[in-house]
Amino acid sequence: MKKKIHPKYYENATVSCACGNTFKVGGTKEFIETEICSSCHPFYTGKDRILDRVGQVQKFRKRLASKKPTKKKVK
């Protein structure tokens, strides 16, 4: 590796989230501020929900359930 072209690496960089969660990671900045982390993100907390305003999800699930599996033709 070339000398003096790489940024300084901090093995214990502190990450702080807007929700108040803090943790240590490795990075090129000593302090990192984020808006969302794995403690407050809906995907990771299980609070993720599907927005359905016209019943499109139910229509799709009903159509999918009523569909019969098709057999592939072998030539």
Question: In whole angstroms, how far apart are CA 59 and each of 26, 50, 51, 66, 68?
Answer: 46, 14, 14, 11, 16
| Host H or E run for residue 59 | helix 56-66
Question: What is the model's pTM?
Answer: 0.52
pLDDT score recorded for residue 58: 81
Tell me which of 3.40.50.1010, 4.10.80.400, 2.40.160.20, 3.40.50.720 is the CATH number of domain 1-48.
4.10.80.400
| pLDDT value for 33 | 93
What percent of the chain stands above pLDDT 70? 85
The answer, yes or no, to whether residue 13 has pLDDT greater than 70, is yes
Read off the pLDDT of residues 46-66 as tens digits, 9 standing for 90 and up: 776 666 667 777 888 888 888
Q: For residues 57 and 1, give the distance between their C-alpha atoms in angstroms, rounded to a whole number.
A: 53
